[in-house]
Amino acid sequence: MFSGKTEELIRRMKRAKIARQRVEIFKPAVDVRYDEEKVVSHDRNAIQSTPVTTAANILLLANDVDVVGIDEAQFFDLELPVVCNELAQRGIRVIVAGLDMDFKGNPFGPMPQLMATAEYVTKVHAICMRCGKLAHFSHRTVSNDKLVMLGETESYEPLCRSCFGKANM
């Protein structure tokens, strides 16, 4: 979290629009933190999107497009890699943003398979809130064991490996 994943997705989708490519952006319907329909970064940059409840809905709605963007991919079901591969087979460029690990440091949802089958993977990192090194982990700062818990700085902090280990002792 707080590494600029959504910011980068928005930047890439806006560039595709400038290039006159037809784009469609999808987000999980469960993500209503900033807006019910727009993908919004922590810096409040936004782009219109279509909220969907399942990955399969993306295939139904991604018609007549050149580029598909998908935000918060970790919240989608395990069909997302199949959907992304189908879109790529159709000749559609697919840009996916999501957390690769959950708050416990385990691979998150469909992300491992997406990363394994992607042509390109760009990992962006936040800065550790405790020591200033690159952060690889999203440490949950509140008591809640649910895997999916929407939150911001009140619930999560980015930590490096060392600080994450200390925080979970």
Active site (catalytic) residues: 72
DSSP state of 28: E
Separation of alpha carbons 156 and 37, rounded Å = 23
Q: Where are the alpha helices (DSSP H) in 19-79?
A: 56-61
Separation of alpha carbons 28 and 36, rounded Å = 10
How many residues are present in the chain? Answer: 169
Separation of alpha carbons 68 and 9, rounded Å = 10
In this structure, what is the dihedral angle of CA atoms 132, 135, 140, 145, given to the nearest 10 degrees? -160
